[in-house]
Amino acid sequence: MQRGGNMPVARRKVRVLCATMMLNVVIFFLVGVSWNLGRDKSDRPKVRIPSKRFWRQQVPSKYFWNKEQQRLDLIYNPIFNSLPSDSLIKLPDWLNIIRPVNPCEPDYRVPTQISDYNTLPHRFQDFFLHMRCRTYPMLINQPHVCDQKPFLLLAIKSLIPHFDQRQAIRETWGRANRIVVTVFLLGNALPVDHFPDLLGMLGHEAKLHKDVLLWDYRDTFFNLTLKDVLFLEWFSQNCPHAQYVLKGDDDVFVNTFRIIELLGGLSDIKAKDLFIGDVISDAGPQRDRKLKYFVPQSVFTGQYPAYAGGGGYLYSGELALRLRNVSRQVALYPIDDVYTGMCLKKLGLVPENHSGFKTFDIEEKYRNNPCVYRKLMLVHSRTPQDVLKIWPWITHLELDCQ
């Protein structure tokens, strides 16, 4: 009785199994047919070309710098660069604008591309008229300053009248030797900026110390970015074997011994992408016209990338060469340290914050404490008199700072 009672269950199981097998056969057949239909006579899969656009068309920005950057991004896009000259792809009209034959001639179409150009301060108007020019003649060069392949190159931004600041650096933390080489980066002082003619004195200084680099461009606050670009080009041609670069202003104090000590302890991996300083994150353009770092809405929108304060930062010579190359792909921006942050971002790098870099000074109560300066890498700002006073605190070993 028990055996006869189990027969219907067994039959149901057989039926389910058979149905499952038949379903698998049908699916296998359909897949095979689909595969064969998708192949041509040469037994190769057909390439299905989408009939509709599968990327979003780029819309031109209404902000001048952002639009300039869109143009450069397209120019340096490797996909478009690899297309044959007879490609059917047509560039959008707004990106295919004919540029002046000489990019160092003022581009008088710029006023039509910035909505409030005529109301902007003159420094902005002048910068944007000439922002596509990146080559200026050198009036004073030092092509052999790096012949001994220095460990550390100190590249100091200065102005022609700052004779006392340069001399204070030469006598203290910028003293040149086989390990350290110092160069001062200058642009020309034009009568329109109400500077006296000091080129004769500067020429004498350059012959005496052999550390002055002078380009024939207008040395203004906004052109500090241009000074960075020109320096990187000079570095690639005249000092590419320097292992490290400290870029700073001529009113900083640098503890050169601490810098060299830090660099000497780096691994090869760490040294390759080294870029450290007093890092500013989550910042954006200032919209108050009274502020030094004001940038109008019509020019730029968005957040700034992380960047190190321009008073002074430290990076590897290898990275300097990469920055030189990538800077061509980044539109000049009127704030130099932000621009360097933009170039780093283009390389996929982020500057590293170091507590020893104080580009916004230290608390007043510590400013006359000799032991504090022994722990710092760089502090901004200090007068030439301050620099001459602080340096002995670093060099006199009898000072107890335990």
CA distances from 243 to 179, 208, 315, 378 (A): 10, 26, 9, 19
pLDDT in tens, 247-283: 999 999 999 999 999 999 998 888 999 999 999 999 9
Altogether, the residues listed in the chain come to a count of 402
Within 10 A of 370 (CB to CB), how many other CB atoms are there?
14
Q: Which CATH architecture has domain 138-395?
A: Alpha-Beta Complex (3.90)
| Most distant CA atoms of the chain, gap in Å | 124
More confident residue, 375 or 101: 375
Which of 164, 154, 212 is CA-nearest to residue 188?
212
Q: What are phi and psi of 71, to 5 degrees?
A: -60, -45
The region of weakest confidence among 62-66, 127-131, 183-187, 394-398 is: 394-398
pLDDT number for residue 14: 47
Residue 11 has pLDDT above 90, yes or no: no
Distances from the Cα of 321 to the Cα of 180, 316, 330, angstroms = 19, 9, 15
Whole-prediction pTM value? 0.84
Which sequence spans correspond to the domains of the chain? Answer: 9-43, 64-130, 138-395
pLDDT digits (tens, 9 = 90+) for 332-367: 999 999 999 999 999 999 999 999 999 999 999 999
Write out pLDDT tens, residues 364-373: 999 999 999 9
Position 77 confidence tier, pLDDT thresholds 50, 70, 90:
confident
Whether residue 82 has pLDDT greater than 70: no
Q: How far is CA 325 from CA 81, 225, 241, 344, in A?
A: 17, 15, 16, 11
CA 166 – CA 380 distance, rounded (Å): 15
179 backbone dihedrals φ, ψ, rounded to 5°: -95, -40
Q: Which helix (H) or strand (E) holds 312?
A: strand 307-316
Number of C-beta neighbours around residue 100 at 10 A: 13
Q: What is the pLDDT of residue 9?
A: 47
Give CA separation, 106 vs 4, 36, 133, 225, 350, in Å.
Answer: 103, 63, 9, 18, 34
pLDDT digits (tens, 9 = 90+) for 150-165: 999 999 999 999 999 9
